[in-house]
Amino acid sequence: MSTSATKPLGLETLLEQALARWENEGGSDACGPQQSPLGEDAESPVPALTNAELVQLQVRVIALENLVISLLADSSDAQRVLAREMAAYISPRPGFTRHHLTTHAAAQMKHMLERAGLFRGVADWAVDG
C-alpha cells in the first residue's frame, strides 16, 4: 500500500542512482560503501587472466552485444528512447572531465541502437550524434 511517506522514485532519480553505483564500480549502495571481508588494510590478490579466459570473455561480450541488439530490434519506441537517453546521460556532462571509456561506452550504445534499427528495417531509426 502506498503512502505519502513511500512515494515512488522518479525515473530520473532511479537512473542517477544506478549510474552513481556504476560509475563507482558498485563501490557503495544504500547501506554505504562495500567493505572487504578481509579488512581495509588487507588486499586480496587478483590473479591475472589467462589467454583462454580473455578469449572466453570476448566471446561472451560478443554474444551479449548481439543479444542486446536483437532485443532492441523488437523493443518498443519507449524502450529505444530510454536507451538513447541513457547513452546521452553517460556522456560527459558540461563541467565534468571527459573520460575516454565513458565516451566510448556512450558511442557503443548508440551504435547498437543503429544496428538494431537495421534489423527493424526502419530507415529513420538512426541515433543522432
State residue 120's pLDDT score: 82
| pLDDT tens sequence across 59-98 | 999 999 999 999 999 999 999 999 999 988 887 777 777 7
The structural domain count of the chain equals 1
| pLDDT tens sequence across 11-31 | 777 777 776 766 555 444 455
Task: Answer yes or no: is 105 within a domain.
Answer: yes
**Minimal CA–CA distance to 19: which of 91, 78, 108?**
91
Distance between CA atoms of residues 9 and 58, nearest Å: 36
Task: Answer yes or no: is 55 within a domain.
Answer: yes
Task: Answer yes or no: is 35 within a domain.
Answer: no
Task: Answer yes or no: is 60 within a domain.
Answer: yes
Task: Answer yes or no: is 95 within a domain.
Answer: yes
Mean pLDDT of 41-48: 75
Containing domain of residue 70, as a range?
A: 49-124
